Amino acid sequence: MVRTRRFYHGKVFRKIPVKLSNSKLAPDAYHPPSQVILLPQTQQLKALTTIIRDKNTQRADFIFYSDRIIRILVEEGLNHLPVVEKTVVTPTGKEFHGIDFQGRICGVSIMRAGESMEQGLRDVCRSVRIGKILIQRDEETAMPKLYYAKFPPDIASRYCLLLDPMLATGGSAIKAIETLIDYGVAEERILFLNLISCPEGIAAVVQKFPTMKIVTAEIDAGLDEKLYINPGLGDFGCRYFGTDK
């Protein structure tokens, strides 16, 4: 049953328990669950992520190379949407038996950092509809608070690409996914795209939503005592939008 579509304002959720992993664990020793699609760890991708992780990278370069990774993430996300067979006629008059995407998609960005991924989605999917959701986390309690959600009116019938560059504790992602489901989006129709994730966040999201997928560029060792991804890249939103110190 689809619940009535509504706005959310100032709603506070319970604290998400987080179990810190051993940050000394080598990243290649971690084996993500089957719901996680890790981008092929090519030399090109490693070079791109090295640039955006460098604290000395200038903002213009940070934006440029982040956008390149985002484009790759979106393309990979589209690979996991259902397709149907389709036959077309080529200019030579011959038939070609190919495929076509089944169903419609939309994007939903978790503000503010997720908005950095919107253009990459638009570059690949022309005229795509994009919703917004604002969830803020108390830095002391790590308690997520949902302030605002606005989605396309027919979002329940679409496949949803959820956009947020970092997956740390998973608290914001879980509340965003819960909100999408509350709007009628089927869990298995949600793909969560992010640049950097960690085992703690992955475990929290997958345990709560076992039928959705996560598409990520790299998986870091874990969270530190302040619940920051280690080694990470700092505050992605501040670096991308130029509000860092």
pLDDT at 24: 46
Q: Is residue 54 assigned to a domain?
A: no
Tally of helices (H runs) and strands (E runs) in the chain: 6, 13
Q: Is residue 136 assigned to a domain?
A: yes
Q: Is residue 57 assigned to a domain?
A: no
pLDDT at 245: 67
pLDDT at 10: 41
Whether the CA torsion 139, 190, 68, 33 is positive or negative: it is: positive
Residue with tokens 């089927």: 186
CA-wise closest residue to 36 among 77, 66, 67: 77
Q: Is residue 238 assigned to a domain?
A: no
User: Could you give the number of structural domains in the chain?
Assistant: 1
DSSP string, 165-234: SEESSSHHHHHHHHHHHHTT--GGGEEEEEEEE-HHHHHHHHHH-TTSEEEEEEE-SEE-TTS-EES--S
The predicted-structure confidence for 32-69, as pLDDT tens digits, reads as follows 899 999 999 999 999 999 999 999 999 999 999 999 99
Question: What is the Cα–Cα distance from 2 to 60, expressed in whole angstroms?
Answer: 43
SS3 46: helix
Residue ranges in the chain whose pLDDT is less than 70? 1-28, 137-139, 141-142, 245
The CATH code of the domain that includes 33 is 3.40.50.2020
DSSP string, 17-37: P-PPP-TTS-GGG----TTEE
Using DSSP bridges, classify how beta strands 213-219 and 11-12 pair: parallel, antiparallel or unpaired. Answer: unpaired
Rounded alpha-carbon distances, angstroms, from residue 224 to 158, 164, 177, 218, 230: 37, 20, 25, 17, 6
Question: What is the Cα–Cα distance from 190 to 196, expressed in whole angstroms?
Answer: 18
Give the number of other Cβ atoms within 10 Å of residue 114's Cβ: 27
Give the number of other Cβ atoms within 10 Å of residue 29's Cβ: 8
pLDDT at 28: 60
Q: Is residue 239 assigned to a domain?
A: no
Question: What is the Cα–Cα distance from 216 to 195, expressed in whole angstroms?
Answer: 5
Domain that holds residue 139: 11-42+73-232
